[in-house]
Amino acid sequence: MENRKKALVLLNMGGARNKDELKMFLTNMFNDKNILTINSNLLRKLIAFIITKRRLNEAWKNYELIGNKSPINPLTEKLVDRCNEEIKEFKTYQVMRYTPPFAQDVIKEILEDEIEEIVLLPLYPQYSTTTTKSSVEDFIDYLPYSFGQNIRYIDNFYKNEAFNSCIIDEIEKNIEKEDDFNIVFSAHGLPQKIVDKGDPYEEQMKEHVEILSKMLKEKGLNFKSINLAYQSKVGPMKWLEPSLDEKLKEFKNEKVLIYPLSFIVDNSETDFELAIEYKHIADNLGIKEYKVCKCVNDSNAFIEAIKDIIK
Ligand SMILES: C=CC1=C(C)c2cc3[nH]c(cc4nc(cc5[nH]c(cc1n2)c(C)c5CCC(=O)O)C(CCC(=O)O)=C4C)c(C)c3C=C
Ligand SMILES: [Fe+2]
Ligand SMILES: [Fe+2]
């Protein structure tokens, strides 16, 4: 590893390792001007404090059901290790947005390692101001001016064929040829207001589903229906629609396969929200079978896709 002069930095959201870190996650998230798009820092700080205080205990109960921590950290660490084993040209690091390791600390390490060139790979296939922009800006804010211009970032990678093949493989693993599943691509939601201001996330998400639909058909993987819905609404504002709750109502007595399309590694939104919370909803709606696909995580095929995405 000593001679590696290029850094690949995986950017992700972070997640709670314990209740204190959930408080940290929520506080940092709602203090992010890309998430709460309020101009006044002071007002945002106050609202972040109030939301965190209100949400913490209720949200922690969800983490108790998945082993008192989010799986996002260990899974991202595994992905970093696999990249370091398989992508010899780069030394791979991870930076999280709302829990450690933070950009400021990882940048110190990068400078000590005398890295000369940096590639930022936000682990978000579709661009959003709330995720990609927030993470990239945060990193660049802490990078000293003296580092120079030898830094580039991957804006999105939902069109990458090798990546999409990983998704199709995961879907294929979950069905038999004669099954008659409805597939729902479930995306993390976004306030409608953010989309109306020009965030391309919804547009890219729709295009991503179109690309995958074509690939499924080409592979002879037939579904009764192919759908897109949005999970994880927070607060009273209007978010992207249809919501996953509404979408599931269409499938009484039918089979549903969920693919979590916003994420690269599994996290509390997949392991708790999709696998536990929406499973209850599906059972109550009389859905005959309800399955959730795994994210691409640190699979060999995804490591190959990363090589192609950053080249
Ligand atoms: C206004 C609130 C939120 C916006 C906008 C938002 C966008 C957004 N988030 C992800 C990915 C993840 N979000 C996760 C958790 C999470 N998200 C919000 C709120 C907003 N997200 C909250 C309050 C939480 C915490 C859990 C909860 O209280 O419901 C996670 C999981 C992290 C983990 O612990 O494992 C991920 C991943 C995307 C992709 C996105 C916009 C495109
Ligand atoms: Fe979120
Ligand atoms: Fe959620």
83 and 10 Cβ atoms separated by less than 8 Å: yes
The length of the chain is: 311
What phi and psi, each to the nearest 5 degrees, are found at residue 253? 65, 15
In a 10 Å sphere around its CB, with 0-12 CB exposed, 13-18 middle and 19+ buried, how is residue 226 labelled? middle
The model's confidence at residue 218, banded by pLDDT at 50, 70 and 90, is very high
pLDDT tens by residue, 169-202:
999 999 987 779 999 999 999 999 999 999 999 9
Which residue minimizes the CA distance to atom 18 of ligand 1? Answer: 234
The model's confidence at residue 235, banded by pLDDT at 50, 70 and 90, is confident
For residue 259, CA distances in Å to 134, 239, 290 come to 25, 20, 11
Q: pLDDT at residue 84 above 80?
A: yes
pLDDT tens by residue, 60-73:
999 999 999 999 99
Alpha-carbon distance of 180 to 82, in angstroms, equals 36
Which residue minimizes the CA distance to atom 14 of ligand 1? Answer: 269
Instruction: Note residues around ion ligand 3 (Cβ under 5 angstroms).
Output: 232, 273
Q: pLDDT at residue 36 above 80?
A: yes
Domain limits, the chain? 6-156, 161-292
Residues annotated within a binding site for Fe(2+):
188, 269
Please report the pLDDT score of residue 262 as a whole number: 98
> Of ligand 1's atoms, which has the minimum distance to the CA of residue 55?
28
Alpha-carbon distance of 138 to 217, in angstroms, equals 40
For β-strands 289-292 and 255-260, DSSP reports them as: parallel
Looking at this predicted complex, what is its ipTM?
Answer: 0.94
Domain 161-292 coded CATH 3.40.50.1400: yes
Domain 6-156 coded CATH 3.40.50.1400: yes
pLDDT tens by residue, 136-173:
999 999 999 999 899 999 999 999 999 999 999 999 99
The label of the residue with tokens 């959730």 reads 292
The model's confidence at residue 206, banded by pLDDT at 50, 70 and 90, is very high
Please report the pLDDT score of residue 188 as a whole number: 98
Asked whether the domain spanning 161-292 has the same topology as the one spanning 6-156, the reply is yes
309 and 121 Cβ atoms separated by less than 8 Å: yes
Look up the pTM and report it: 0.96
Pocket of ligand 1 (CB under 6 A): 13, 15-16, 29, 35, 55, 59, 70, 72, 124, 128, 130-131, 188, 190-191, 201, 234, 262-263, 267-269
The model's confidence at residue 3, banded by pLDDT at 50, 70 and 90, is confident
Rounded to a whole number of angstroms, the distance between the first and last alpha carbons of the chain is 20
